[in-house]
Structure 1
Amino acid sequence: MVKLLIADRDHNERTGIGWLVSSYSIPFDHVLAAGSISKLFDLFEAELPDVICIELDMISKDRWDRFKELVKRYRTKVIVMTAEATFERALQGIELHAFDLWLKPHSPDHIKRVLSLCCKDVSQAKKKQDPSAQSEESSISYRSLFVHQETLDVNYRLMLMQLENPKKLPILLSFLQEYYFHYPPVLLPLSDMIVLVFSCDHISPLEYLKQISNRILIEWEERFSEPISLVLYDSHDPFLSLNEQYRRAKQGLEIRFFKGYRQLSVIEDKVDWVMIDPFLTPSEQREWIQMLNEGDRNKFKQWMYKEFLNMREPYPEPGLLRTRLTSLLAQVRRFMKSFYLDEGLLEARYHQIFETILYNPILYRIVQEFLLFLYEVLDRAATHEEHPRTDVVEQGIQYIEEHFNNPGLNLGDVANHVDRSPAYFSSLLTKKRGISFRQLLTKNRIKKAECLLLETKLSIQDVAEQTGFINANYFSKIFKEQTGITPRSFRDRKKV
């Protein structure tokens, strides 16, 4: 417990310094005020403050020795204040071994910095004298973070901090080591984040840590431009092991995929992601083909924003959304091929967008980059309209992907769609893709069947019907030929 005493004859000065302490959450437990020398002495001996901010002008010569004696006896840190920048006042500060000397009018930033340093010094000194505090800290280690073990009878809470650029974590660590916590946490730096472990036996954990988190966000952004993400794990079980808390809190870091950086996420339990079918439905494929042919940018923007940027908790699993975005990119890829745009700078941009979808940590950024690339493709396609050579193989593949659920789909249907003979289209397909029509059709059907088996509770018969097989027995036979196991075994194995 650290106490501050503000002694100044000017009421406004006392109030102003007190307000700064409160506003900046400088971690003094008690802030006292004295407007006269008599009140100062009374509070000094009754409360034994750890830090005193005193106006030198209020101490008369006949009281100077007594004040100096009290400071020496109780080893109090003193900050002296004066409106006179004189050598005499400086000597008085030196005589008191003053921590700092403030000339009025005060600088708020300087007051904040000096008081924070004082508070930290006093807290660390008291901590060294408290064996129980040292014992508690020693019980928190990397082992307790990564290996499940029984916790002590202490109410711990975890806060995780992660920067967008892991190489700048040493800057964050230095920032936290200099930061002034009411109840200092144990810092455990990792390769991609910093874990803060708080002992919350004497505080209301959630409200206190929310306050700390928001203050850290504000002060970090005042000093640094590097985006930061904070996760606070607030367990309903106060004695959950640190290892379990860490694993659940780490899951919560992925929420930044939806919320972005510069946010605080509070996790109360395991993160339960919503499972979705990441692949485009036949109707969605047709819609995208139509939009690509029309080249309407507003339609694309509205579709992407509605699909990806209006989500609310509980969120879909981020990996499934990345897969869905790659399915959309595949549609754009086929459109590029049909206009012979899969070369040069645009081809390099395609690979960049693919990498962005897989690895960019923020969904909003992925969508924006995707749309910019899509607009570039549409612009390039518009300049190629004078040379409408289309890739019949890509058109045929699109047709197969849209109609594979039709049990009667055959090579003649596809060849007729692209206005080629069945034999000629078959030879083109084999030459360009190294696969026959029947193999490609079966591949699409099995791929969709695997998704339905994993993501739905449809019967084997229903799965067979929805993927274009004439009956469940034939479906099971082909599925086993392609995957090595039966549909039922495939579904059961994934549940284990």
Structure 2
Amino acid sequence: MVKLLIADRDENERVGIKWLVSSYSIPYVSILLAGNIKETISLLEKEMPDVVCLELDMVRSESWNDLQYALNKYAQHVVVMTAEATFDRAMQAIQLHAYSFWLKPILPDEIRRVLQYCYKNVRDGAKELSYLSPNQSLLSYRSLFVEGEVEGNTPYGILLLQPEDPNELQTLRHFIEEYSFQFQPAIFPLSDMVACVFDVSFENKPYLKQLGNLLLKQWEEQNLDPIAGVFYLPERSQTLHQSYLQAKQALQIHFFKGYRQITIMEEEIRWREIDPFLTPEEQRDWIEMLNSGDLHELKSWMHREFLSYTYPYPEPALLRTRITSILAQVRRFMKSYLLDQGELEIHYHRVFDSILYTSVLYRIVQDVLLFLKEVLDRAAVHREEKIVDVTEKAIQYMEQHFTDSDLTLEKVAKYVDRSPSYLSSLLSVKKGETFRQLLTQIRIKEAQQLLLDSTKSIQEIASETGYSNANYFSRMFKETVGVSPRTFRDHK
């Protein structure tokens, strides 16, 4: 006598799930429908359904406590549905001790599998529904995400598998659930991957170390879409939550290694420290390479900088920031040739999105290099037709030659093929500052970097930033920064 309640704002969704249950002949004695939270709580209290399919998106904060109380009191098993794959929705599912998390649109086979399993467990009098084997009965989604939910010192190994195409997640989930493991894991389908939790013992560890390659081989025999994975097998005991966090960190290694691989990690992930931003010297190098139009040199720089890493790798988020720092220099170059418009501007934004969201590093590098070729080709045309932004070209020249103590407005004006008076007026109008003020800012900015990052003397720094007189340098530094160079270094 198992009852099912389907609570969803969309009548088509409610009726559709009810029709699927009937067409698959899952013998629920009663299927109840609710279109809002008030109806849901009322039916929970009156009918006490054993299984509830609940749309989380219709739950308002003021109704949450009442709903949670009613579900905990009357329903044995809860399946949640949502159109929003967010952390908040995942936490709500955990608070309700949900058996399954459905992301709309839901596959009919998934509805059939879950509701058949729920029916069977209620019918057989199961107190708690789980994928887990008896010796893992304490494990749950909550123990995966929250520290301290599982006591004891059992070492847990975690296998995380992620498809390159998010649309293949359900296929991957079914593959794992049907896979014949020698030592059955607890299986936790997540919003973007599948987690398998194993008890790690001396007897099963050799098998687990071979499992990744065996599983990957069978997947590729049946599917064309690539997957990536990491198998975290800690040498020392950790809580399930700690092991999950380490495995999730380690999964980012595939940003460097690509898909079609499963990496075994037996120690906590270590990330190499890097500066996520280009140094002033690197910025000048990039402007110089762009101005020279040498794509081969730019390609060599990108490959040398980003495609030669070995473990320990830099943290992917910092590396993405570093590449956006490069894109900022390309942006400045585009402005100097009036290229920041039209199709090239659209391409620029596509590359920016690629840097932020593409899952594999070498593809990001490839996207950037293709964009650079297009930028350089367009710049060559504009150079021939003398279509340039004189102000940007002048600033770039100043940044490249500020170390010259004899750098003058006349030299810069000659480089951009304009008269000194015209260039001076242009800088004042577009930048709001005089040539001398702009040059001082460039020099003092470089001096600040040298004071922070080197042990060079004040005299040496003055010379390297275009000041032949150290006293004059110190005076200009204090006027610009507010403190003397020595005080600035002491307070770093």
Q: Same fold (TM over 0.5)?
A: yes
Alignment match, 2:152: 152
The higher radius of gyration belongs to 1
Task: Say how many residue pairs are matched.
Answer: 353
For 2:406 and 2:340, how far apart are their aligned partners in 1?
Answer: 33
Report deviation, 1:488: 6.7
Is this contact kept in 2: 1:231–1:264, CA < 8 A? yes
SS in structure 2 of the partner of residue 388 of structure 1: coil
Is this contact kept in 1: 2:427–2:433, CA < 8 A? yes
Report deviation, 1:272: 2.4
Alignment match, 1:113: none
Report deviation, 1:138: 2.1
Alignment match, 1:191: 191
Cα distance change, pair 189–464 in 1 and its aligned pair in 2 (3 A)? farther
Alignment match, 1:209: 208
Report deviation, 1:214: 1.0
1:369-389 deviation line (CA, Å, top 9, x unaligned): 111111222333333443123
Cα distance change, pair 327–158 in 1 and its aligned pair in 2 (3 A)? same
Alignment match, 2:342: 344
For 1:447 and 1:227, how far apart are their aligned partners in 2?
Answer: 47
TM-score, L = length of structure 2: 0.60
Is this contact kept in 2: 1:464–1:472, CA < 8 A? no
Report deviation, 1:347: 1.5
- Of 298, 311, 317, which aligns to 1:319? 317
Report deviation, 1:477: 8.0
For 1:161 and 1:352, how far apart are their aligned partners in 2?
Answer: 28
Alignment match, 1:223: 222
- Where in structure 2 are the equivalents of 1:353-372 lying within 5 Å? 353-372=351-370
SS in structure 2 of the partner of residue 208 of structure 1: helix
Report deviation, 1:349: 0.7
- The RMSD of aligned alpha carbons is 3.8
Alignment match, 1:301: 299
For 1:445 and 1:269, how far apart are their aligned partners in 2?
Answer: 46
Is this contact kept in 1: 2:402–2:465, CA < 8 A? yes
For 1:452 and 1:267, how far apart are their aligned partners in 2?
Answer: 40
For 1:160, give the aligned amino acid: L
For 2:413 and 2:304, how far apart are their aligned partners in 1?
Answer: 36
SS in structure 2 of the partner of residue 375 of structure 1: helix
Is this contact kept in 2: 1:277–1:451, CA < 8 A? no
For 1:177 and 1:199, how far apart are their aligned partners in 2?
Answer: 17
Report deviation, 1:421: 5.6
Alignment match, 2:166: 166
For 2:228, give the aligned amino acid: S
Is this contact kept in 1: 2:160–2:248, CA < 8 A? yes
**Gap regions ≥5 residues in structure 2:** 1-126
Cα distance change, pair 416–488 in 1 and its aligned pair in 2 (3 A)? farther
For 2:451 and 2:204, how far apart are their aligned partners in 1?
Answer: 47
Alignment match, 1:242: 240
Cα distance change, pair 197–427 in 1 and its aligned pair in 2 (3 A)? farther
- Of 290, 293, 312, which aligns to 1:292? 290
SS in structure 1 of the partner of residue 196 of structure 2: strand
Is this contact kept in 1: 2:382–2:388, CA < 8 A? no
Cα distance change, pair 348–201 in 1 and its aligned pair in 2 (3 A)? same
Report deviation, 1:414: 5.0
Report deviation, 1:487: 7.1
TM-score, L = length of structure 1: 0.60
Cα distance change, pair 190–409 in 1 and its aligned pair in 2 (3 A)? farther
SS in structure 2 of the partner of residue 159 of structure 1: strand
Between the aligned residues of both structures, percent identity stands at 49
Report deviation, 1:182: 0.7
